[in-house]
């Protein structure tokens, strides 16, 4: 890809948009194949639930390092930061394939997590730089619907590979080819120069408030996307039902994000977040208390949460978006890593279904933090309704 678009702020920079969308597709494909490979990893390396949960927890901590460590590079050139993260992604996946025990598996997971942190930061910055304000929330929703599509295809792809007799090690090696292909495709993409002068730090108050909302929301999403196949297997469902449930989860996730991206929603960002959190917490709890078959439907409410939180952040902190996004991604990852480890230990003590009760609790906590964030917002940063782009009003 090459970038020849003009620099006017109200024009869409299509090459940046394409690079951001493609990178999130690769991220979603690689990251969401891992839950379907998780059972094979536990069996192949003879790990229990507690040790195995570190596979996800250490990845989350790696995301913190990547999102904070690559902020300066992404600010100087988002395309260059993207390419560095793609190299780390390929290396992390290859090292996962070669892991011979828990220590090497966790080292590979940390490297892969650093890549995820860099990719998440670069792609959101690319789409933010590509989008006029009136289209930003819709383009961000479209960006994260690509993640849902990749996440839908990932377990289906793993199931197809398993049918052909491909083991988890070979599957990781095949996945490592995806970031290398995108690296070649974006080799000519150039970023705009960083603004002169000292870096503008992100104000901690507005950033951390939105970050906690996003973090608790992502915890709910990740607990389902990483544990659904294992839960269905342990609840006695026929083989393969877990992969189907995970695909249904990501289908719902994609559909809800596409709906937000394709339609002009007049509700404020805070209202979209409140509705999604309440609906997701309700379905999550019902699925645990009645039947796991309801759990994939929670994705209909989970889908819009993260892109809407990113747009709320861009609305509150418009002049320090790269720095604020780095802090948001770091907070999300710290929360996700801690909850992954806690759920793994609780699963061994009380059972997986009971341990997943952390999901509805996290979503309820996000609602409480959102209420505080909305109440403390200064008048100049109150969310505005998202009217049609033709009327020139800001998204969110």
pLDDT digits (tens, 9 = 90+) for 271-282: 889 999 999 999
112-125 pLDDT, tens digit per residue, is: 999 999 998 888 88
Please tell me the predicted confidence (pLDDT) of residue 396.
31
Crossing angle of helices 269-289 and 204-234, in 10° steps, is 20
Structure confidence at residue 379 as a pLDDT band (50, 70, 90): very low
Nearest to 335 by CA among 231, 226, 211, 249: 211
Quickly state the pLDDT bin for 52 (edges 50, 70, 90). confident
Q: Is the pLDDT of residue 296 over 70?
A: yes
For 14-192+201-383, the fitting CATH number among 2.60.40.1730, 2.60.120.1270, 3.20.20.70, 1.20.1250.20 is 1.20.1250.20
Considering only residues 4 and 217, tell me which one the structure prediction assigns the higher pLDDT. 217
Q: Where are the domains of the chain?
A: 14-192+201-383
Q: State residue 203's pLDDT score.
A: 58
Flag the least confident range among 8-17, 70-79, 157-166: 8-17
Mean pLDDT computed over 187-211: 65
């Amino acid at each position: 890809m090459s970038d020849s678009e003009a620099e006017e702020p109200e024009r869409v920079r299509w090459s940046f948009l394409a690079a951001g969308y493609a990178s999130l597709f690769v991220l979603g494909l690689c990251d969401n194949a891992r839950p379907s490979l998780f059972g094979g990893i536990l069996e192949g390396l003879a790990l229990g639930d507690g040790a195995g949960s570190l596979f996800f927890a250490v990845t989350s901590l790696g995301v913190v390092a990547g999102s904070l460590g690559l902020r300066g590079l992404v600010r100087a050139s988002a395309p260059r930061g993207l390419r560095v993260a793609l190299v780390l992604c390929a290396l992390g996946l290859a090292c996962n394939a070669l892991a011979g025990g828990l220590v090497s598996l966790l080292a590979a997971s940390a490297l892969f997590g650093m890549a995820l942190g860099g990719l998440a930061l670069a792609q959101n910055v690319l789409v933010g730089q590509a989008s006029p304000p009136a289209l930003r929330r819709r383009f961000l929703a479209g960006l994260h619907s690509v993640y849902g599509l990749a996440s839908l295809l990932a377990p289906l792809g793993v199931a197809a590979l398993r049918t052909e007799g491909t083991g988890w090690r070979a599957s990781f090696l095949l996945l490592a080819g995806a970031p290398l292909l995108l690296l070649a495709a974006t080799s000519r993409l150039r970023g705009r120069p960083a603004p002169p002068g000292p870096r503008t730090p992100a104000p901690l108050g507005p950033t951390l408030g939105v970050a906690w909302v996003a973090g608790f929301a992502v915890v709910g999403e990740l607990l389902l996307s990483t544990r659904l196949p294992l839960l269905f297997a342990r609840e006695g469902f026929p083989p393969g039902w877990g992969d189907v449930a995970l695909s249904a989860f990501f289908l719902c996730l994609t559909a809800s994000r596409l709906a937000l991206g394709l339609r002009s929603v007049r509700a404020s960002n805070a209202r979209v977040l409140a509705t999604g959190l309440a609906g997701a917490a309700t379905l999550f709890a019902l699925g645990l208390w009645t039947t796991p078959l309801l759990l994939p439907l929670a994705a209909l409410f989970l889908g819009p949460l993260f892109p809407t939180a990113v747009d709320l952040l861009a609305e509150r902190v418009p002049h320090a978006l790269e720095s604020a996004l780095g802090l948001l991604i770091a907070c999300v990852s710290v929360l996700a890593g801690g909850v992954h480890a806690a759920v793994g230990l609780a699963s061994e003590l009380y059972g997986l279904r009971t341990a997943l009760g952390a999901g509805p609790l996290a979503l309820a906590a996000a609602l409480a933090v959102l209420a505080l964030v909305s109440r403390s917002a200064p008048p100049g940063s109150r969310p505005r309704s998202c009217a049609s782009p033709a009327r020139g009003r800001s998204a969110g």
